[in-house]
Amino acid sequence: MSESLILHHYDRSPYAEKIRLMFGLKGMRWHSVLSPAQPPRPNVDPLSGGYRRIPVAQIGADIFCDTFIIAKEVARLADAPELDPETVSEDAAEIMRTAQGDAFFAAIGAVSPLSLLWNLLSGFGLAGTLRFVSDRVGMMQGATVKAPQGAQARSILANFLAALDRHLADREFVSGACPSVADFSAYHPLWLHLSAGGSPLDARYANVRRWFDRVAAFGQGERVETSPEQAFEAAKSADPRPLPETDRAADVYTGRSGSIAPSDYGTVPVAGTLVAVTTSRWIVARDTERFGTLHVHFPRKGYSITPA
């Protein structure tokens, strides 16, 4: 267990679906720990220090926050550099930026309110829907991004679909003949939109429809349901892996205590001591009574450090 990848997630999470499909592409065996859709999340909060977003991945005493970092770990474990977000071509990277930015935030706003409400009630029940909506509204308070609604959201999503359809006219996948992280990044906002709305993709986007079905067919790999207690034991019985070499150009806070949080939304800070900085990640040590020392990994891009 200490060497296995554990994913703390919930089944309706679009960002988790992005990672699960990577497991499917590579036929990976992974451990699934189901998490509540909103905080508190007793299965993962003690490990991450209260990181607000989901999913969170775990390998022993190393905890990985944000799908950018999780994808890099999957790429490493599967020896699949095409799953590393930093390896894609510039045109594929542009599609990823649009998909995970404007298109993602438009995915829900483009769904009719009645369809969205029905979907939430069928998945979470009345009390669960109220908790979920209240939590997501609170998560966006003070955010630097705003989710478009109605006609504006539908226009943004239609523009993304049209551009993606043109891009896929002469290729099987976003990066060309073979799948890459760009496919899963482009797929998950559309999966969210279709799941929330309950209707198929518009027939005008035939290339997108064929590609969407190809990506969905990868499945989830070998999923092993795992209890939170097993995940906790994996953290407790392991030491964090050796730290990478620090990027000296960014070595301004190493060794200092402080907190780290996303810069755009869900800005709940995680406290600890910064122990390493690479070109792509911050690594924060958390000394816990229950598990010993944990290393929590975050992307550098989109996250900010506040020293104590």
Architecture of domain 6-82+222-307: 3-Layer(aba) Sandwich (3.40)
Residue partners of 122: CB distance under 8 A and separation at least 6:
none
Q: Which two tokens stand for residue 91?
A: 């045109």
Fold classification of 88-216 is: Glutathione S-transferase Yfyf (Class Pi); Chain A, domain 2 (1.20.1050)
Q: How many C-beta atoms surround the C-beta of residue 297 within 10 A? A: 23
Instruction: Report the alpha-carbon distance of residue 38 to residue 185 in Å, rounded.
Output: 22
* Extents of the domains making up the chain: 6-82+222-307, 88-216
| Dihedral-angle region of residue 221 (phi above 0 means left; psi in -120 to 50 means alpha; beta otherwise) | left
Each residue's pLDDT expressed in tens, for the chain with a length of 308 residues: 546 899 999 999 999 999 999 999 999 999 999 999 999 999 999 999 999 999 999 999 999 999 999 999 999 999 999 999 999 999 999 999 999 999 999 999 999 988 888 888 888 898 888 898 888 888 888 788 888 999 999 999 999 999 999 999 999 999 999 999 999 999 999 999 999 986 789 999 999 999 999 999 999 999 999 999 999 999 999 999 999 988 877 777 889 999 999 999 999 999 999 999 999 999 999 999 999 999 999 999 999 999 98
Residue with tokens 């523009």: 159
Please check whether residue 187 is in contact with residue 160, taking contact to mean a CB–CB distance below 8 angstroms. Answer: no
β-strand partners of 58: 6, 63
pTM (whole model) above 0.85: yes
Structure tokens at 258: 């402080």
Contact 71, 85 (CB under 8 A): yes
Q: Are 107 and 99 in contact (CB under 8 A)?
A: no
144: its two tokens: 């630097």
